[in-house]
Amino acid sequence: MKRTILLLSAAAAVTLSACSEPASGEGSGNSDAVGSTPQPVLAPITAAESIGAGLAVGEQVPLTTGLLAKGRETTLGQILENGPALIVFTRSVEWCPYCQTQLKSINALVGDLKDRGYALYGLSYDSPEQQDRFISNHKLQYEMLSDQSSSVIDAFGLRDPQYTEGRAVGVPYASVYLIDRTGRVLAKSVSGDYTKRPSNAQILALVDSTRS
């Protein structure tokens, strides 16, 4: 089964290519400016576009590294006490329209993931206030986790190293991680092209690949 998970996670792996420094084309307005700019269309990712960054399938996630959920201090260990999770690492709810498009799209997965036994979370380096505004504006039905110091992002090995200055310092590669209740990585998808992210169907296929 482990070999099957590894093969399928590689085939379905979701990779976001190294994003260039956010410029005018990537949006500079706040997330509460609903409908002010057309949202980009995300291209589905292919296996060939996946990259090997981040924790591997079978490894343990950082259970004690701190982050914020609903403005309160917590850890992934505490979050996983409530059950297995699918975490979508994204760059910013504020200035990245590709991230905004993805975060709105995966809202449709909440019920399907719950039926499969998983809770859905988004994770970015944005502040809880920025995340809460985005959640409220777009009526998201899942939680966002705030990693303002990028400590969880770094512990996963997902920091995009090309950024050394500016507001993009500390952003992760766009990634999807499926994690069991003990903190073990069941499947992953890490994108090297920020314009390409897994479709909802690809995310569900990634989840279902661990059930065989």
Per-residue pLDDT of the chain (212 residues; tens, 9 = 90+): 444 334 334 334 333 333 344 544 455 445 544 445 567 766 666 665 778 899 999 999 999 999 999 989 999 999 999 999 999 999 999 999 999 999 999 999 999 999 999 999 999 999 999 999 999 999 999 999 999 999 999 999 999 999 999 999 999 999 999 999 999 999 999 998 888 899 999 999 999 999 86
What the block records as the tokens of 124 is 């970015």
Spatial CA neighbour of 188 closest among 172, 171, 207, 201? 207
Domains, the chain, ordered by start: 2-14+48-208 (3.40.30.10)
Helix, strand, or coil (residue 143):
strand
pTM to 2 decimal places: 0.83
Buried b (16+ CB within 10 A) or exposed e, 44-71: ebeeebbbebbbebeeebbeebebbbee
Name which of 14, 23, 82 is nearest 48 in CA terms: 14
Burial profile 134-172: b = 16 or more Cβ within 10 angstroms, e = fewer: bbebbebebbbbbbeebebbebbebbbeebeeeebebbb
Q: CB neighbours of 34 closer than 8 A, spacing ≥ 6?
A: 137, 138
Q: How far apart are CA 82 and CA 71, in angstroms?
A: 18
